[in-house]
Structure 1
C-alpha cells in the first residue's frame, strides 16, 4: 500500500510528458510480456509435409554448379516475393550454414530474430533446413514455438513447409514450378567446400513451349 502511494505521488510530481513516457514504456512491456506468454502457451503444429518422391521424366538433363555468393544473390532477390508479410523483415545469408536474420513485429514492436540452419539434401532432391540456433529477442524460447509463430505470420509458397514439431523447414525443391515444365532438384550442397550442384530436367516436348527471343 505504501509502495502504491509512493508510485502515485511520483507520477504526480512528474511533468505531463514524463508521465506519458512512463505509461508508454509500461504499455509496451505489457504487450511484449503478453506476446511471449502467448508463445509459451501455444503448442507448435507442423504443416503436412509432401511425399518424399521424385519422378524422373524422360528428357535432357543438365547439371549446374553454383557458389554461395551466387546463391545469396538469387535468394535475396526473390525472398520478398516468396515470404509475403507485413509482420516481418528477413535477410538470408548462406555461409558455412544458412542464416535467417531480421525481425518480427508484435503489436507494432520489432523483435530481433536470428536463425541458424544446417541444410540436408534429401534423396529425392528436396532440401531440409534443420534448426541449429533460433532466438527471438533476448529470451531463449522453445524453437518449435517460435517457428510455429513465424509460420502464422508469414505467407509462404506451396513448396515451403514449416515442420515446427521437428524444428526444421522443408523446401520441396522438386515441386517448384519453372517455365516450360523444367524441373530441378538439389544434387549436392556442401557449404564447407562451396560445392552446390543442381540437376535440371527438360522433359521431352517442353521445348515446343519455349518462345525464342527476338
Structure 2
C-alpha cells in the first residue's frame, strides 16, 4: 500500500493514480487551449477578407453618361413601357426640360395635355420635376388643377409621386424595377447642355 506524504499545510498528497489523472487532465486542457488559440488567430483573418469582398461588391458602381436622344430611348423602354404605369403618362426630355403627356377627361371627352416641367436631381439621386405650364388643347387650365386630376384619377406606380400643391412630380429611382439586377441614381440632369449622368450599381 502506497504511503502518502503530508504537505506543508498538513494535508495528504493525492495518490499516484489521482496525480496521473491530474497530469493527463492538465495535458488535455493545454491541448484545448492551444487549439482555441489557433482558431482565434486564423478565424478573424478569414472573416475580414469575406466582409471586405462583400463591401467592395456592394460599393462598386459605374457611371453612365447619355445625351438627350439616348435618354429618351431609355425613358421609353423603362418608364413609358412600364406595365404598372399602363401608358397613362408618357415622358419625353426636350432641350427646354421634361414634357409629361397624358389624357384629361373633360365633359365626357378625352383631351390630351402636356406638362412642361423643369427636372432636378434630389439629394438622394431621384428626379424631381417641377411644373412650369400646361397645355390642354386651347383651354387655359391651371397647372395644379391638371396635376390634381392625374393624382386622383390615374393609378400611378409607387415610384411616381405627385404633389399638386407644390406642382411637382417625383420619380423615385430607388423604387423602380431593377435593370438586369442593377439600380440607378441620377447625378446630373442638364437638358440645355444635353448631358445626363447616372450612377449604377448592385445592391
TM-score, with normalisation over the residues of structure 2?
A: 0.63
**Count of residues paired in the alignment:** 144
Instruction: Structure 2: state its 5+ residue gaps.
Output: 1-56
Counterpart CA distance in 2 for 1:111 and 1:177 is: 30
Partner deviation per Cα, 1:180-208 (whole Å, 9 max, x = no partner): 653220011111111111101213xxxxx
- Tell me how far 1:174 sits from its aligned partner: 2.1
Contact 1:118/1:131 (CA < 8 Å) preserved in 2? yes
Q: In the alignment, what sits opposite 1:92?
A: 91
Q: In the alignment, what sits opposite 1:63?
A: 63
Partner deviation per Cα, 1:113-133 (whole Å, 9 max, x = no partner): 121001011111011000011
- Tell me how far 1:154 sits from its aligned partner: 1.7
Contact 1:119/1:130 (CA < 8 Å) preserved in 2? yes
Q: In the alignment, what sits opposite 2:170?
A: 170
Partner deviation per Cα, 1:61-99 (whole Å, 9 max, x = no partner): 1111111111212223341434226xx5x5432111111
Other structure's SS at 2:71 match:
helix
1:193 aligns with 2:182: no
Q: 1:194 to 1:151 in 2, by over 3 A?
A: same
- Tell me how far 1:111 sits from its aligned partner: 1.3
Q: In the alignment, what sits opposite 2:15?
A: none
Counterpart CA distance in 1 for 2:177 and 2:92 is: 24
Other structure's SS at 1:141 match:
coil
Q: In the alignment, what sits opposite 2:12?
A: none
Partner deviation per Cα, 1:117-165 (whole Å, 9 max, x = no partner): 0101111101100001113232222211210101222211111100111
Q: Which moved more, 1:124-133 or 1:108-117?
A: 108-117
Q: In the alignment, what sits opposite 1:79?
A: 80
Q: 1:82 to 1:71 in 2, by over 3 A?
A: farther
Contact 1:84/1:154 (CA < 8 Å) preserved in 2? no
From the CA coordinates, give the structure whose radius of gyration is larger. 2
Other structure's SS at 1:101 match:
strand
Q: 1:104 to 1:161 in 2, by over 3 A?
A: same
Instruction: Structure 1: state its 5+ residue gaps.
Output: 1-56, 204-214
Q: In the alignment, what sits opposite 2:26?
A: none
Other structure's SS at 2:165 match:
helix
Other structure's SS at 1:139 match:
coil
Other structure's SS at 2:177 match:
coil
TM-score, with normalisation over the residues of structure 1?
A: 0.60
